[in-house]
Structure 1
Amino acid sequence: MTKVVHKFGGSSLSSAARYQAVANIILGQCQRGDCVVVSAAGKTTNTLVKLWQSYLQKDDNAFNDILLQVENHQNQLLTELFTSQQANTLLEKLKDELQSIAKAAADLNLHEASLLAHGEVWSARLLAHLLSTLNVSALDVDARSLFTQHQGQLLHAQNKQACIEQLSGEKIHIVTGFIASDCDGNTITLGRNGSDYSATLLANYIDAQAVSIWTDTHGVFSTDPRKVSSAIKYPKVCRAQANLLARLGNPVLHAKTLSPLKDTNIKLQVRSSYDPEAVGTEIVKQGYSKDKRFITTFEELDLIRVEGLATGEVRTLSQLIQHSIHHFSKGGEDYLLVPSNDTHAVASHLQGRGNIVESHLRGLAIVAPSHETHQLTQQVAAVLEQQDVVVRFTHSDGRYALFLTDQSIDSDVLAILHDKVVNKGRELAVIIAGLGNVGEVFVDQCQKQVEKLQANFDLKIVALVRSKEMLFCPSGINIQNWQQQWRSEAQSYQQSDLLERIGELDYEHKVVIDITASDAFSDMYPSFVAHDCHLISANKYAGTAAQAWYGKLLEQLQERNLHWRYNTSVGAGLPINFALADLQNSGDAVTRIEGVFSGTLSWLCSSFDGTKPFSDLVLEAQGMGYTEPDPREDLSGRDMQRKLLILARDLGLELDVEDIALEPLMPEHLATGDWDSFLAKRQDLDTFYQSRYEQSQSEGKALRYTGALDIDEQGQVSAKVGIAYVEAGSAIANLTPGDNIFVITSQWYESNPLVIQGPGAGKEVTAAGIHSDLYWLTQKLK
């Protein structure tokens, strides 16, 4: 059984390079037996329409010039994609077809639909031939042998049988979109942009599992992303809203596309052929997605009031002009919104029953959940009045509102409207992983903090995750009672389960907050990004992973316009990452970072005065919960080494952890064996530290455990974590026990370095730092 029907539009096939890109998508996405529906390449259909118009006008010179344009474009595609030997057969067929077009025109026997059909025929033939050169078994199929109409009605039973018979086997079938035939074998078209309709029809006939509409956009957006940079790409849109948008002229989906999917379980996705790895938008059945907010704009429409509008007449008119027509009733009268260029054809068909109420209109429509439409309509009206946009006609039916205006809605006005009526309705799903000491405090702090954030976002905590169990509630967890809900509803899970649930979330934005200390969880970051999740980390493992993995993750985040905040991975709640970013963004250049980045080692070194053995201090710190369960993890210096690497990468340096020299705060032999064996040899630690302490005292300096990163004028980097003897009067020497300190030297802070100091550990300050990152994210998204 065919798994998927893929459809590629003209923009996806606009050049030889795009054909090659589509072939690569097919290689990666299709299986044997799948079908691919294609439109005409680029603007081919528009050019063929001009050719037809010149034929009707009996303008032979224009006809010959346009036919030459068509020939040159097709020849260019063939010569760029194939060797001369590979292209011979296709060139001969093209030559014969162009000669037949010219002869039919000369004999005054040219047929419009047959002429327009050539675009799709050439696309299918070319793509199938290209796949064959790549050792893919592909066959081009003319849809006129699959789809038959009688008096404007598709013969579904006959068509289904034809599809089953002709599209069986192991080949990938490349099917022409847009065209069909009547019972006499004459060519007919399914309307402009009818290739989407061809794809969903085909999927219905062959009982496919899914349809992928590949376009030049990443999915369905809240408004035109080319005009408004903050437009939201929705991961899911319900069919009813998608159909309404199509009837209002939204170019991503078209009015008839969804009808073959009614009462089926066929999945429909809109994806980008320019970024095939990106997650697109899924068009789902009612009830599988919340209604969203949209703004769609109009250009050059006429408003026609119709008397005695018959059932099915709107569809007939849409077929006549090959364009969707929006119909609505107001005050007991029927109205049509018709492209101005097609008004004459519509008026002629209506034979005096249509009166033009307003002409050459522009404007917009808002589409929103029904309970929000009234309020949003008022807000839009107020903005348009403030922007001196003259509204000539309005209409609302509860699901949408029309504003028909004199002037076009420019990008500036559209951006203001979007910010007023769409951005404030944004939703953010929060997944919190790690419910240890910091995690529990963070969740408790959420009870007040979420209320503040919800002023700009509909923010919901949808998941709480531990190493083996998770509580997942897409509609939001009652955070004030989360422990009880956890006890009754938490379930065991695998990584694939978590990713599947995240993929099903129907939110405009998602963020995974990682408060674990798990390298396995940080390994999932690329998968989270693939599901369009922002990241907030208190976990250091991802920030210190191998440079190749780390660099690839940054690329993925940038490609999807996602954010990653990790301020608490170094310095708990201290704003060290923010400071480094601000310095660089303002044009400064950091030349040195030195400091103490471990609250544990800060406390140990600053507290030691020689009155008690160093190992006693270590055990005291362990008893107070200052250290890791095995304090040797702190004494190893590896934690500070990872933190210094994160800071280095914040400066744009491509380092790995092995590039940072490491001197532990204990003899090497104490790192091996179990904890009891360490305790038995603790005197070795005391001797080790005491000797270094005495050396510092003899030099009049203070013993500290620091990290240091230097960048010389040639850009050479040296980095080390280890024991340091610092000047007695320095900020590092006078460090409050338990504090972290960062001393930053730069071009602007050369003689008097910038110092950031404060608590570098503690569950409260770390949790607060994570909230700071979350607040930053909401402001950035807003």
Structure 2
Amino acid sequence: MTKVVHKFGGSSLSSATRYKAVANIVLGHCKAGDCVVVSAAGKTTNTLVKLWQSYVQQDDKAFNDILLQVENHQRQLLSELFSEASAQSLRSQLQDELVTIAKAANARTLHEATLLAHGEVWSARLLAHLLNTLNVSASDVDARGLFAQHQGQLLHAQNKQACLSQIDTSKINVVTGFIAADCDGNTITLGRNGSDYSATLLANYIDAEAVSIWTDTQGVFSTDPRKVGSAVKYPKVCRVQANLLARLGNPVLHAKTLSPLKDTNIKLQVRSSYEPEIIGTEIVKQGYSKEKRFITTFEELDLIRVEELVNGEVRTLSQLIQHSIHHFSKGGEDYLLVPSNDTHAVATHLQGRGNIVETHLRGVALVAPEYEITQLSQQAAVVLEQQDVVIRFTHSDSNYALFLTDQSIDSDVLAILHDKLVNKGREIAVIIAGLGNVGEVFVEQCQAQIEKLQAAFDLKVVALLRSKEMLFCPSGISISNWQQQWRSESQHYSQADLLERISELDYEHKVIIDITASDAFSDMYPSFVEQDCHLISANKYAGTAPRNWYAKLLEQLQERNLFWRYNTSVGAGLPINFALADLQNSGDKVTRIEGVFSGTLSWLCSSYDGSQPFSDLVIKAQQMGYTEPDPREDLSGRDMQRKLLILARDLGLELDVEDIELEPLMPTHLAQGDWGAFLANKQDLDVFYAQRAEQAARDGKALRYTGALDIDEHGKVAAKVGIAYVESGSAIANLTPGDNIFVITSQWYQQNPLVIQGPGAGKEVTAAGIHSDLYWLTQNLK
């Protein structure tokens, strides 16, 4: 059975509200047999540490005051989470434990690790009980029965057997983090960030498929997002870089956490318990992700030079101080970066072999791919000098550079470093499919647009595609003379060829811009997403695909933290999709959309005045290039039907195209046969349209071809595309020939609907709309 381990830290359990939020996450992400590892709630561990310190100092008053704080916090959680009856047994257990603590203090037999363990025990018990009240079978598990150590070494074989036998596959197991036991059954702790370590250890022992570390950040960023607003959240980070960041003091992950995952296929994710809907960062094996750029800062470190460093001694020292220690060699000598508060303990252990070189250092570390580190470290040194930062010690290795300074690296300096070294290096590979009328104009507009976007991204058009040929250049195509390059370098390709070339692109981001009208090309969207490509579509087929296919594509995009923009699939460059999104995001509820979504049908209906047969207008529109090669495709209404479906799905409605009633703008029998057969019987179209136009005139109305979507107060949906008789004074009746119009009624636009009107076709406005989607994408990637 597949098992997943979820870990929640103290900040995720800091209040009753947070407990409920975590319970909701568990309900949505866990099934029987999964494990939830928990830390002590909020600042409980810190409070228990103060309690221990007051005990050691024999300050009875402080001890009693702090113990009362602990009790009040736990009782408050109980009262806010449970009814009086439901909490009775928990209160009784809590009271017994508090009495035991007080008695041990009075007898001077209190044990530090046993005292600290209460925080995790209480968290596990509370969460398990909360889940049971929500009708989810759960039990709390004390990790002291799972993890055993002997002389500081975990007994892996014994622990694995204990975990496999004690983890209940019929329940959700809420396991205490941070604590373990020695061979005599005495409580021990796993040290700083021990709960993360508990989670990955447990995953290793039960052969889990994945571990999710739920914390107060969305994932692993290029730098501290609290200090630099433009920090980049990476969807994937390789374990080697994650391990290096941990050794350098990055607070999100710690080297000890990663060690149980070595040589396993267990997936590790970092996610936010405050924003569980956002996909976090996956920590993957080397080779499964391009190496990224990071900047991490640190405070209060001492630099110690060590003589005759023994193999494994760094690990021993890290365990001694319960903190990662970074070790490097320079000039044939070994150095350690140690938190200043722990220097004395490290120096004592080294017994005279450690010499303090620099004290109370601050600084910054740059982590990057090996081929970039030399140039980037030189740029970093220049930036620090320009910002008057005095560097006391530097060191560069194959994949990182250290700059140790006197002063802290403040947010302003960090932001400048990030802008110069990280954001400037961000690249986007653009693949453009479809070089017809709109596609050619889009490519022509690209040169100016790329220059506009270069301030934040290095954007390169790497591929141009027609139905059977492609021009592919990973380093970028020269847009100014792409036609010449196409003539000399374009090649025939298959779908497999294209996907293979995309998989080889070594860019931070990739985007497919689909300006085709090909359903076969849109069928490839899931494959593009598997290659971590964002999507921009003028193509309507994917947006109107069968519901299951469409829903699976959306899920796939969300899982990979990718974007899909398709504003030009409806209304060319008109911002209809943006408007619908803004209304919903602001809390409004759309109840009706009506309009004319076809430039062709807009022109035909608005131009007809009875002075000439309707079929003559159709032929004229065909000759002017307003229609499809066979105008019956426009008259069928299927294009408007697809557009209305896209708008419906933008509103979150689960419709398929068959759910939208369709009334063609021609007699049914004229859809049969070829275009010649249509021309031979075109008088049937004239009679069909004239009868309806006369009916409209008798009623004082205008004949138009519209799409309409209605949502009643119970959520019932009615959707139709067809002939409509509209009030002569309405915006739809007075529509400029060729324009599109969208009339949106909502709770806030009830009496006076929101109207969006303008050209709904045309290669220039459509190309500009695609560029708008590309600009939106880059801004959101920032």
What is the aligned partner in structure 2 of residue 489 from structure 1? Answer: 497
Aligned to 1:228: 228
* Structure 1: unaligned runs, 5 residues or longer: 493-500, 583-592, 697-702, 710-718, 745-753
Map residues 418-437 of structure 1 onto 2, 5 A cutoff: 418-428=418-428, 435=434, 437=436
Aligned residue type for 1:536: I
- Conservation of the 8 A alpha-carbon contact between 2:540 and 2:643: yes
C-alpha distance in 1 between matches for 2:362 and 2:89: 48
- Identify the residue that residue 339 of structure 2 maps to in structure 1: 339
Alignment of 1:679-698 (within 5 A): 679=679, 681-686=681-686
Question: Separation in 2 of the partners of 1:634 and 1:84?
Answer: 68
Q: Quick check: 1:213 aligned with 2:213?
A: yes
Tell me: CA distance 1:761–1:299, structure 2 relative to 1, closer, same or farther (3 Å): same
Q: Which residue of 2 aligns with 1:62?
A: 62
Matches within 5 A, 1:17-28: 17-28=17-28
Cα distance in structure 2, aligned partners of 1:41 and 1:149: 25
- What is the Cα deviation at residue 357 of structure 1? 2.9
Matched, 1:380 2:365: no
Q: Return the alpha-carbon distance in structure 2 between the equivalents of residues 470 and 183 of structure 1.
A: 69
| CA–CA distance in structure 2, aligned partners of residues 275 and 95 of structure 1 | 35
- Report the CA distance between 1:127 and its aligned residue: 1.9
Unaligned runs of 5+ in 2: 478-484, 583-592, 697-701, 709-720, 744-754
1:131-159 alpha-carbon deviations (Å, 9 max, x no partner)? 22233332222222222222221121222
CA–CA separation in structure 1 for the residues paired with 2:173 and 2:740: 65
Following superposition, the deviation at residue 567 of structure 1 comes to 5.1
The equivalent residue for 2:458 is: 457
Letter in 2 for 1:40: A
CA separation in 1, counterparts of 2:656 and 2:27? Answer: 38
1:87 corresponds to which letter in structure 2? A
> Which residue is 2:242 aligned to?
242
- Give the conservation status (yes or no) of the 8 Å contact 1:124–1:174: yes
Does the 8 Å CA contact 1:574/1:760 hold for their aligned counterparts? no
The number of equivalent residue pairs is 731
Report the equivalent of 1:316.
Answer: 316
Q: How far off its partner does 1:678 sit?
A: 5.4
Pairwise mapping of residues 279-428 of structure 1 onto structure 2 (< 5 A)?
279-428=279-428
Q: Is the 8 A contact 2:363 2:409 kept in 1?
A: yes
Distance 1:329 1:234, change over 3 A: same
Counterpart mapping for 1:44-55 below 5 A = 44-55=44-55
2:85 and 2:469 map into 1 onto residues whose CA distance is 60
1:476-555 paired onto structure 2 within 5 Å: 483-486=491-494, 489=497, 508-509=508-509, 511=511, 513-515=513-515, 536-539=536-539
Give me the whole-angstrom Cα distance separating, in 1, the residues matched to 2:466 and 2:288.
24
Give, in whole Å, the separation in 2 of the partners of 1:530 and 1:418. 29
- 8 Å CA contact retained: 1:306, 1:354: yes
Q: Deviations over 1:361-383 (max 9, x none)?
A: 22221111111111111222222
Query: Structure 2 residue aligned with 1:674, among 668, 672, 675?
Result: 672
CA distance in 2, matches of 1:693, 1:89: 78
Structure 1 contact 142–176 (Cα < 8 Å) conserved: yes
Contact preservation (8 Å) 1:642, 1:657: no
Cα distance change, pair 531–168 in 1 and its aligned pair in 2 (3 A):
farther
**Native 8 Å contact 2:435 2:466 kept in 1:** no
**Alpha carbons of structure 1 residues 475 and 320: separation in structure 2 relative to 1, 3 Å:** farther
Conserved? CA contact 1:236–1:506, under 8 Å = no
Alignment correspondent of 1:588: none
Find the aligned partners of 2:161 and 2:473 in 1 and give their Cα distance: 42
Task: Give the aligned partner of residue 199 of structure 1.
Answer: 199
The 3-state SS of whatever aligns with 1:327 is: strand
Write the distance in 1 (CA, Å) between the matches of 2:217 and 2:626.
51
- Counterpart CA distance in 1 for 2:161 and 2:300 is 42
Q: Note if contact 2:460-2:476 (Cα within 8 Å) is conserved in structure 1.
A: no
Aligned equivalents of 1:402, 1:170: Cα separation in 2 = 50
CA distance in 2, matches of 1:70, 1:44: 7
For residue 181 of structure 2, give the secondary structure of its aligned residue in structure 1: strand
Change (3 A) 1:646 1:262: closer
* In 2: Cα distance, 1:685 partner to 1:45 partner: 81
The alignment status of 1:266 with 2:288, answered yes or no, reads: no
SS at match of 2:256: coil
With over 3 angstroms needed to count, the CA separation of the structure-2 counterparts of 1:89 and 1:657, relative to structure 1, is: closer
What is aligned with 1:586?
Answer: none
Q: Return the offset for 1:247.
A: 0.9
How far apart, CA to CA, are the structure 2 residues paired with 1:755 and 1:275? 34
Deviations 1:191-223 (A, max 9, x none): 110111111111212222221212122211111
Give per-residue Cα distances to partners, 1:338-358, cap 9 Å, x unaligned. Answer: 223333333333344333333
Once the two structures are TM-superposed, the CA of residue 237 in structure 1 deviates from its matched residue by: 0.7
Query: 8 Å contact 1:220–1:233 — kept in the other structure?
Result: yes
Secondary structure, counterpart of 2:217 in structure 1: coil
Per-residue CA distance 1:52-93 (angstroms, 9 max, x = gap): 222222222222222111111111122222222222222222
CA contact (8 A) 1:293 1:366 kept: yes
SS at match of 2:283: strand
**Distance in 2 separating the partners of 1:422 and 1:276:** 27
Once residues 136 and 723 of structure 1 are traced to their aligned partners in structure 2, the CA distance between those partners, rounded to angstroms, is: 56
Query: Aligned to 1:130, what secondary structure does the other structure show?
Result: helix
**Any conservation in 2 of the 1:15–1:77 contact (CA below 8 Å)?**
yes
Q: Distance in 2 between matches of 1:767 and 1:427?
A: 22
Quick check: 2:236–2:281 contact (8 Å CA) kept in 1?
yes
Task: Return closer, same or farther for 1:412/1:645 CA change in 2, 3 Å cut-off.
Answer: farther
Which stretch shifts more, 229-238 or 328-337? 328-337
Residues 599-643 of structure 1: per-residue CA shift (max 9 Å, x gap): 535776899999975424423544675313552453577867998
Aligned residue number for residue 14 of structure 1: 14
Alignment of 1:150-229 (within 5 A): 150-167=150-167, 169-229=169-229
1:481-514 deviations in Å (ceiling 9; x for gaps) = 675232663689xxxxxxxx99x99975454545
Give the SS at the match of 1:110.
coil
Secondary structure at 1:220 match in 2: coil
CA gap of 1:520–1:98, structure 2 versus 1, over 3 A, is farther
> Residues 648 and 163 of structure 1: is their aligned pair in 2 closer, same or farther, counting only changes over 3 Å?
closer
In the other structure, the counterpart of 1:761 is: 762
Contact kept in structure 1, 2:430 and 2:513, CA below 8 Å: yes
**In structure 2, C-alpha distance between the alignment counterparts of 1:641 and 1:34, rounded to whole Å:** 45
Contact 2:599 2:740 in 1 (8 A): no
Aligned-partner SS, 1:221: coil
Maintained 8 Å contact 1:269/1:280: yes
Which residue pairs with 2:481 in the alignment?
none
SS in structure 2 opposite 1:246? helix
Q: Is the 8 A contact 2:218 2:280 kept in 1?
A: yes
Secondary structure of 2:191's aligned partner: coil
Greater alpha carbon shift after TM alignment, 384-393 vs 452-461: 452-461
Greater mean deviation of Cα atoms: 29-38 or 523-532: 523-532
After superposing the two structures, state which structure 1 stretch, 149-158 or 311-320, moved more: 311-320
Q: CA deviation at 1:568?
A: 3.2
Q: CA deviation at 1:238?
A: 0.6
Q: Deviations over 1:228-265 (max 9, x none)?
A: 22222111111100001111111111111111111111
Report the Cα distance in structure 2 between the residues aligned to 1:465 and 1:2, rounded to whole angstroms: 44
Shift of the 101–482 alpha-carbon distance from structure 1 to 2, 3 Å rule, reads: farther
Q: 1:722 to 1:537 in 2, by over 3 A?
A: farther
Sequence identity (%)? 73
Structure 2: how far apart are the matches of 1:228 and 1:491?
Answer: 36
The offset of 1:402, in angstroms, is: 1.6
Alpha carbons of structure 1 residues 675 and 408: separation in structure 2 relative to 1, 3 Å: farther
Counterparts in 2 of 1:476 and 1:58: CA distance versus 1, 3 Å? farther
